[in-house]
Amino acid sequence: MSKSDTFNPGVTGSAEDGLFGIPTNEKNSLVHILPVPWEVTTSYGRGTALGPKAILEASPQIDLYDLEFKKAYEKGFHLFPLSEKWLRLNNKLKAQALKIRDQIERKGKLSKSLGARQQEINANSEKLNSWVYDFAMKAFSKEKIPAVLGGDHSSPEGLILASSEAHGEIGVLHIDAHADLREAYQGFTHSHASIMFNVMSHKSRPKKLVQVGIRDFCEEEFEQIQSRSDITCHFDQNLKNSIFSGESWKSLCEKIISELPAKVHISFDIDGLDPVLCPGTGTPVPGGLQFSEANLLIKTLVASGRQIVSFDLNEVAPSKNSEWDANVGARVLFKLCGWSALSMENKKGENHLA
């Protein structure tokens, strides 16, 4: 991490200085975060393309010293500049996608012109995945931890596949309200609702997908979960029933983590949390994890000796006249960065939690 002469970690900084108000540079930072302003395939609420900017603006109010991972921020959490090119393309294609969804819902099929627009969206989604993939592979080559800050949940597909290729056998810890196992949802091959279907259908797919907090899914997704040994889903209802019957969240976390290999990608959809914590997100669902429950789950992962080799945070959409969504999103991001940095000590056998 590069510090300016005026940087004081005990004083609230400015977003102009960097994420969390910390002056950083690419070279000396362990965590490399790519903002992806993309929400072309959203199917209900909108605004996630504005998530990265809102999180950046809210982030400096966070106190940097953490009770659990201390001064992990000194490892460097570097947020790359937001791509205006991808934001402009997002805004253009999003309007077309709305027309496509509307016509499918009304007529069950597309006109020739909208069919061409659908193909254009699918092609550009693939280009976005390649852009994210290249970013991740570059970070891995420098022994960094790449991360994606979305955007909708289609944003990190290239990152997860790059992580799987770079590290071999990885597991995905997927925190979400939705299973995201639909094939080409609404005709979009790289839909936010298809990310885990795409990842787990790829030739370079992760060894294991472990889902937590899922409470909204279709029958086909449920059948896929039941039929595949490389997918384990801890439905939110079942987790709550275990807690109501007296099992501790800590013991449940240990069971969840035990199913993952040594290297892990965390895919965190903010709607995996209780919607009271993220009311602006596109598809909120009652139930979910509390902030402290999500934190303990990730802490348990690190304490187990596993490494977080990459991560993503998605679906944060700033609410009108409120910074609450961005505030919570920034704090989730801070925890993801801190735990990821600490987990690298597992590689050296130095982690005091393990």
Q: How far apart are CA 220 and CA 94, in angstroms?
A: 27
Q: Which whole number is the average pLDDT over 218-233? A: 97
Among 266, 271, 299, which Cα is nearest to 284's? Answer: 271
Q: Is residue 17 part of a domain?
A: no
Q: pLDDT: is 99 or 243 the higher one?
A: 243
Which residues are CB-neighbours of 173 under 8 A, at least 6 positions away?
Answer: 210, 212, 256, 257, 260, 264, 265, 266, 267, 297, 298, 301
**For 244-300, what is each residue's pLDDT tens digit?**
999 999 999 999 999 999 999 999 999 999 999 999 998 999 999 999 999 999 999
161 occurs within a structural domain: yes
Selection from 240, 231, 193 nearest residue 213 by Cα? 240
Predicted local distance difference test score (pLDDT) of residue 229:
97
271: domain range? Answer: 28-348
In the chain, % of residues over pLDDT 70: 97
The residue to which tokens 């895919």 are assigned: 267
Give domain status of residue 2, yes or no: no
Q: Which residues contact 295 (CB under 8 A, 6 or more apart)?
A: 335
C-alpha triplet 34, 37, 40: angle, nearest 5°: 135
**Contact between 191 and 182 (Cβ < 8 Å):** yes
Q: Is 19 inside a domain boundary?
A: no
Q: Is residue 63 part of a domain?
A: yes
Sheet architecture: strand order including 31-36: 77-79, 31-36, 145-150, 307-314, 263-269, 171-175, 208-214, 231-235
pTM of the model: 0.95
> CATH number for the domain including 38?
3.40.800.10
- Kindly report the length of the chain: 354
Alpha-helical (H) ranges within the chain are 51-58, 84-107, 112-141, 157-167, 195-201, 219-227, 236-244, 249-257, 291-303, 324-348
Task: Please name the residue that has the structure tokens 């991360």.
Answer: 147
| Segment 297-343, tens digit of pLDDT | 999 999 999 999 999 999 999 987 889 999 999 999 999 999 999 99
Query: For residue range 20-72, what is the model confidence (pLDDT) as tens digits?
Result: 999 999 999 999 999 999 999 876 657 899 999 999 999 999 999 999 999 99
- Nearest-5° Cα angle at 314, 143 to 340: 30
Domain count, the chain: 1
Of 202, 226, 211, nearest to 171 by C-alpha is: 211
Mean pLDDT score of the chain: 93
Q: How confident is the model at residue 2 (pLDDT cuts 50, 70, 90)?
A: very low
Higher pLDDT, 348 or 296: 296
- For residue 220, tell me if it sits in a domain: yes
Domain assignment present for 9: no
| In the predicted structure, residue 4 carries a pLDDT above the cut 60 | no
Q: Is the pLDDT score of 1 beyond 70?
A: no
More confident residue, 187 or 168: 168
Phi and psi at residue 252, to the nearest 5°: -65, -40
**Residue at 183 is within a domain:** yes
Any idea which residue has 């509390």 for tokens?
290
